[in-house]
Amino acid sequence: MMDRVAVLGQWGIDTLRQFGKAGILFYRVLFYPPNFKKSCPLVIQQVYSEGVLSLLIIVVSSLFIGMVLALQGYHTLSKFGASQELGPLVALSVVRELGPVVTAILFAGRAGSAVTAEIGLMKATEQLSSMEMMAVDPLRRVISPRFWGGFISMPLLTLIFNATAIYGAYLVGVKWLGVDAGIFWSNMQSSVEFHADIVNGVLKSVVFGVAVTWIAVFQGYFSIPTSAGIASATTRSVVYASLAVLGLDFVLTAMMIGEW
Amino acid sequence: MLPQRLIESLVGLFLLFAIFSLTVLAFQVSGLTSLFPDQTYTVTASFDDIGGLKVRAPVKIGGVQIGEVAQIGLDPVTFKAVVKMHIRNQYNDIPDDSSAGIFTSGLLGDNYIAITPMYNTTYLKNGSKIEMTHPAMVLEKLIGQFMYKIGNNGNNSSDNGEKNEKK
Amino acid sequence: MSENLVEISHMSFQHENGKVVFEDVDIVIPRGKITAIMGPSGTGKTTLLRLIGGQLYPTSGDVKVEGRYIHQLSRKALYQLRKRMGMLFQEGGLFTHLNVFENVAFPLREHTQLSESMIHSLVLMKLQMVGLRGAWRLMPNELSGGMARRVALARAIALDPELIMYDEPFTGQDPISMGVLVKLVRTLNESLGLTSIIVSHDVQETLQIADYVYVIVNKKVIGHGSPEVILRDPSSQLQQFVQGLPDGPVPFDYPAKPLVQDFLQGGTT
């Protein structure tokens, strides 16, 4: 019996230490600022590999999500004779929730896992150690640019997701299902508020970006440098990041709704 | 590895795409007309009953929105609802004897305030108060009135019937 | 200039998980010579290099490099010191996203403000020293293991360090690559006036080129001296290691119950 309690306690302490390590890593990445001239190209490189290369999956997913939303929404709304509310339905769902959350989860799966695997592999092949022994701080050269790359890419991807999803909904709703274009857009415009909805959505995506990239970088940096270790670090990074996004989404939504 | 210049251009394109999306979202989706909050002046009005009026509900003249409800409170002395409205500065020639009423948009929609302009030559300005107000039409009261009327008609006809019989 | 580049005294080191790697170890690395640290696998020889390089701190005892205590140095000072050390990792540790030229140029670009043409010349010079000048365009995944190590060596000497540490340089190499590496280690040490530390368990090759040898078995130094002294030392531990005897102080059998007991009882209890 006492053994079980001891095991639980040990697990608790280990988890606490993980959080501590993550916090220290975060602090060092943020507050030991790299000198801009050297690190700008590195960050741009990372924005390319994390952001630009994720565009395909984001755009395709958002188009389909927008189209399905319009299809399902129209189907249900027309039962109440409320099909002119399709615009607001799609826009509010996407901009407030689906945009930030789905983008974050897709990003975690595509870019987050890539970052974790990359850093883990660099650790396993002793590239990080070589850098350290060459008096180059791997945190500044490898970890920090990847963190800022994710931080910058996420809100941009979310904006693109929002716009393409609504466009997809427009295609299905107006062009195919016959909702009047004028009503579609004007009802949407009167229900969606820039500051409350769109800006809040982007704010959410910034928070998600920090969370996903932080988890990805942490898992990679502290992974066990074997092939099994890297594999499990990569899956952990995706799972934890997705769960964190969903949890944070609830907290943020509660805070934002409370305001208004 | 792609050459650095190509990568930078692609990142730049990415950024442009995102800014474009933001613009679309701002103007097409949320109908933002200007990025800066309008300059407004505040006007108050007291209502017997505001029904379902909420903060940020529109204030309209002739169906056109000229402002929004900023604050709803209760006057502790008169127990009337005190509503503060922000009206956009460009509409600064509303006669100060205009009346304000609470209406419903559509059959089951949200409440809004409609101002009916009158004839005075002095205008509403910051801090003015609208004196003439009409309360919201509350469904229960309407039904109550309706039933009272029916009840009365019924009584009248039965009274007449009794009188006739007595004679 | 002190005679000893590195002085380790009464040093003990224990990993976070409690595993003791070194117990009260004394090692002195003289300047300008090739010193070998040998011992069976898993005795923590790489850990020793990390301790000298400041990646790890000793649990007790001192590690002094150039007269300064490693664990007392600030981050900045440590980094300054590391610029004068080169380390060759077992796997090479080349950056996989850069080609050979860029790999060798990396420390030059990071720590100096030399012009591109100077860097170009320096890189080609270093590559020439290891015999790979013509391979400057290749990517690390196009190199054989031996070639990768040579490139890593070129990178390690890019900043003209004073100390160079080799982590198991001869392990898993074919005879020709082995010969090449042995030649390189010796030549570089002499021509550049380096101090070299070789960590290895390849007795033959290492004893060929080492000036001084330390043998570490089971957390302690069990013998040290010039190669001849080591080969002639009668201690059974040392002899088992040097001659590669399968059984001796380091036993062949993993600790287990007596044979009869195990077979009769059929295993589980």
A contact chains, 3+ CB pairs < 8 A:
B, C
Mark yes or no for CB contact A125/C87 under 8 Å. Answer: no
Closest approach of B79 to chain A, Cα-based (Å): 26
Contact list in C for residue A127 (CB cut-off 8 A) is 93-96
Cβ distance A156 to B31 less than 8 Å, yes or no, reads: no
Nearest-CA distance A41 → chain B (Å): 8
3-state secondary structure chain A: CHHHHHHHHHHHHHHHHHHHHHHHHHHHHHHCCCCHHHHHHHHHHHHHHHHHHHHHHHHHHHHHHHHHHHHHHHHHHHHHCCHHHHHHHHHHHHHHHHHHHHHHHHHHHHHHHHHHHHHHHHHHCCHHHHHHHCCCCHHHHHHHHHHHHHHHHHHHHHHHHHHHHHHHHHHHHHHHCCCCHHHHHHHHHHHCCHHHHHHHHHHHHHHHHHHHHHHHHHHHHCCCCCHHHHHHHHHHHHHHHHHHHHHHHHHHHHHHHHHC
Q: Which residue has the tokens 């290891």?
A: C130
| B22: chain A residues, CB-CB within 8 Å | 159, 163
Q: Is the pLDDT assigned to residue A36 strictly greater than 80? A: no
B25 → closest Cβ in A47, A162, A186: A162
Q: Which residue type sits at A20? A: G
Q: Would you say residue B5 has pLDDT above 90?
A: no
Mean pLDDT of C171-192: 83
Q: Which residues of C touch A137 (CB under 8 A)?
A: 79
CB contact under 8 A, A130 and C152: yes
Q: Cα distance from C104 to chain A (closest Cα, Å)?
A: 11
Mutation to test the A interface, candidates C78, C96, C126, C143, most A Cβ within 10 Å: C96
Q: What distance, in Å, lies between the first and last C-alpha atoms of chain B?
A: 112
Interface of A with C in 76-135 (CB under 8 A): 122, 125-127, 129-130, 132-135
Q: How far is C64 from chain A (nearest CA, A)?
A: 17
The lowest-confidence range among A63-77, A147-161, B151-165, C205-219 is: B151-165
**A30-39, A182-191, B20-29, C95-104: least confident range:** A30-39
Contact yes or no for C96 and A136 at CB 8 A: no
Look up tokens 């690559």; give the residue: C177
Residues of B in contact with A190 (CB under 8 A): 31
Neighbours of chain C (3+ CB pairs under 8 A): A
What's the pLDDT at B35? 55
Q: Do B21 and A192 touch (CB under 8 A)?
A: no
> Of A105 and A14, which is predicted with more confidence?
A105
Report the mean per-residue pLDDT for chain A.
Answer: 89
Other CB atoms within 10 Å distance of the CB of residue A195: 11
What is the side-by-side strand order in the sheet with C163-167?
C85-88, C163-167, C195-200, C34-38, C212-217, C220-225
* Chain C residues whose beta carbon lies within 8 Å of the beta carbon of residue A129: 55, 89, 93
**Residue A228 binned pLDDT confidence (cut-offs 50, 70, 90):** very high
Beta strand segments in A131-182, E: none
The chain A residue lying nearest C88, using CA atoms, is A130
Residue of A122, A130, A136 lying closest to C110 (CB–CB) = A136
Judged by DSSP in three states, C245 sits in coil
Nearest-CB residue to B14 (from A45, A52, A193): A52
Under a CB-based contact definition with an 8 Å cutoff, are residues A187 and B49 in contact?
no
Averaging pLDDT over each range in A75-79, B67-71, C4-8, C50-54, which range is the top one?
A75-79
Q: Which of C89, C112, C126, C164 to mutate to test the interface with A (most CBs of A within 10 A)?
A: C89
| Contact: A166, B10; criterion CB under 8 Å | no
C269 Cβ neighbours under 8 A, 6+ residues apart = none
Q: What pLDDT, on a 0 to 100 scale, did the predictor assign at position C43?
A: 66
ipTM of predicted complex: 0.77
Closest partner residue to B21 (CB to CB) among A51, A163, A192 is A163
Is A189–B30 a contact, with Cβ atoms under 8 angstroms apart? yes
Quick one: CA dihedral C190, C192, C196, C200, positive or negative? Answer: negative
pLDDT computed for residue C76 by the predictor: 80
Q: For residue A125, what is the nearest residue in chain C, using CA coordinates?
A: C93
Give the mean model confidence (pLDDT) for residues A47-65: 93
Q: How far apart are CA C213 and CA C203, in angstroms?
A: 10
- Higher-pLDDT residue of A66, C65: A66
List CB contacts (< 8 A) between A135 and chain C.
79-80, 82-83, 107, 110-111
Over residues C248-263, the pLDDT tens digits come to 776 777 777 778 877 8
| Closest residue of chain C to A122, computed from CA coordinates | C95
Q: CB B29 to CB A91 under 8 A?
A: yes
Mutation target among B2, B11, B112 for the A interface, most CBs of A within 10 A? B11
CB contact under 8 A, A47 and B11: yes
Tell me the chain A residues in contact with residue C169 when contact means C-beta distances shorter than 8 Å.
none
- Report chain A residues whose CB lies below 8 A from the CB of B18: 155-157, 159-160
Residue A260 reports pLDDT greater than 50: no
Interface probe with C: pick from A123, A133, A136, most Cβ of C within 10 Å: A133
Q: What is the mean pLDDT of residues A115-131?
A: 90
For the stretch C127-181, pLDDT in tens is 888 888 888 888 988 888 888 888 988 898 888 888 899 888 888 778 888 888 8
Distances (CA, A) of C128 to A13, C131, C132, C150, C153: 53, 5, 6, 11, 12
Please answer yes or no on whether A159 and B18 come within 8 Å at the CB atom.
yes
Asked if B25 lies within 8 A of A185 by C-beta distance, the reply is no
Contact of A14 with chain C, judged by CB distance below 8 Å, is answered with no
CB contact under 8 A, B30 and A44: no
Q: For chain A, what percent of residues have pLDDT higher than 90?
A: 51
